[in-house]
């Protein structure tokens, strides 16, 4: 018999495992962050779209210009980054494009592109702790890292002693009114580090500070780096495929040193 209990069990709310607030998908209708996609296409820039997706709202004019510059600055660093090397080696083995690019991104570890995430974490936690006294917290951060003989994420570069991208980005941050607390802290840290160790801000420090000032959480920082770098990795995969012979040797046997039994 269909008792009340039976019906309650039947009509109990279904367990909805998939919830999202990003895009509403209906037949022939896609609404992202409240906007029909056909209204976004052709009316907002790609940078504005990125901001809308991640932060749930469109950026101001200045923020959009700043984000555009940040994304451009991540473009490429030749074949020196491990992510580029692995993507190219992968391409050489005949792996498909998406596997090459995925592998490139997997190289974004703590020591490589992951650095921007840690730089943002240091700056964002620093600002919360600083309560207005930027200089003091900069000193604490620098002292902490120097004492532990560790590198401060976002400062120093293994190829450049003066990363040309950082000052350009800082200048634009001022122009676009995106130079705020986190950028100030980054500059204060740089000033101390330069004095003591002749070390300057690098691209991760500059972009980490700017993205923090625009309001991005440090947890998405290296994701934004990935967005900016993916076109470069794609281009390297394409270059490897079209210009080099497949399955080539990336080094000779006499470049290997065997030091076992």
Instruction: Show contacts with a copy of itself in window 157-216 (CB under 8 A).
Output: 158-165, 167-169, 172, 175
Determine the interface stretch with a copy of itself among 119-127, 128-136, 187-195, 241-249 (rule: CB under 8 A). 241-249
**Binding to a copy of itself by residue 17, rule CB under 8 A?**
yes
Instruction: Show contacts with a copy of itself in window 46-65 (CB under 8 A).
Output: 46-47, 49-50, 53-54, 65
**Binding to a copy of itself by residue 5, rule CB under 8 A?**
no
36 pairs with which residues across the strands?
31
**Binding to a copy of itself by residue 144, rule CB under 8 A?**
no
CB of 146 to a copy of itself, least distance (A): 19
Token representation of residue 128? 């919360």
The residue from 5, 149, 150, 251 that contacts a copy of itself (CB under 8 A) is 251
CB of 134 to a copy of itself, least distance (A): 25
Other residues' Cβ atoms within 10 Å of the Cβ of residue 173: 25
Question: Residue for token digits 């998405």?
Answer: 220
- Phi and psi for 19 in degrees, rounded to 5? -120, 145
Determine the interface stretch with a copy of itself among 82-90, 124-132, 134-142, 186-194 (rule: CB under 8 A). 82-90
CB of 180 to a copy of itself, least distance (A): 18
Dist CA 170 CA 160 (whole Å): 17
The residue from 40, 58, 146, 187 that contacts a copy of itself (CB under 8 A) is 40
DSSP annotation string for 122-183: HHHHHHHHHTT-HHHHHHHHHHHHHHTT-PPTTB--SS-SS-THHHHHHHHHHHTT---HHH
54 alpha-carbon distance from chain centroid: 12
Instruction: Show contacts with a copy of itself in window 100-139 (CB under 8 A).
Output: 100-103, 105-114, 117
Dist CA 182 CA 213 (whole Å): 6
Toward a copy of itself, which CB reaches closer, 139 or 160?
Answer: 160
CB of 43 to a copy of itself, least distance (A): 8
How open is the CA angle 251-256-259, to the nearest 5 degrees? Answer: 165
CB of 226 to a copy of itself, least distance (A): 6
**Binding to a copy of itself by residue 247, rule CB under 8 A?**
yes
Toward a copy of itself, which CB reaches closer, 143 or 162?
Answer: 162
3 state SS of 32: strand
Toward a copy of itself, which CB reaches closer, 21 or 128?
Answer: 21
22 pairs with which residues across the strands?
none
Residue 112: Cβ-neighbour burial (10 angstroms; 0-12, 13-18, 19+): middle
The residue from 86, 140, 181, 187 that contacts a copy of itself (CB under 8 A) is 86
């Amino acid at each position: 018999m269909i008792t009340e209990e039976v019906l309650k069990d039947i009509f109990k709310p279904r367990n909805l495992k998939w919830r999202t607030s990003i895009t509403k998908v209906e037949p022939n209708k896609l609404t992202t962050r409240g906007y029909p996609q056909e209204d976004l296409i052709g009316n907002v820039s790609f940078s504005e779209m990125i901001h809308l997706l991640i932060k749930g709202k469109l950026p101001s004019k200045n923020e959009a210009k700043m984000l555009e510059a940040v994304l451009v600055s991540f473009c490429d660093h030749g074949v020196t980054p491990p992510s580029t090397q692995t993507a190219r080696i992968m391409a050489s083995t005949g792996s498909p494009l998406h596997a090459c690019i995925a592998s490139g991104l997997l190289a974004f570890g703590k020591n490589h592109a992951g650095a921007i995430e840690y730089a943002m974490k240091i700056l964002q936690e620093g600002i919360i702790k600083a309560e207005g006294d930027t200089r003091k917290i900069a000193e604490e951060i620098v002292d902490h890292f120097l004492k532990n003989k560790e590198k401060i994420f976002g400062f120093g570069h293994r190829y450049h002693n003066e990363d040309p991208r950082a000052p350009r980005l800082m200048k634009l941050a001022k122009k676009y009114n995106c130079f705020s607390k986190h950028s100030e802290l980054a500059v204060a840290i740089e000033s101390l580090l330069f004095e003591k160790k002749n070390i300057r801000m690098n691209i991760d420090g500059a972009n980490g500070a700017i993205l923090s000032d625009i309001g991005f959480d440090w947890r998405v920082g290296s994701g934004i780096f990935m967005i900016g770098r993916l076109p470069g990795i794609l281009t390297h995969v394409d270059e490897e495929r079209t210009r080099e012979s497949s399955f080539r040797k990336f080094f000779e046997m006499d470049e290997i040193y065997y030091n076992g039994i």
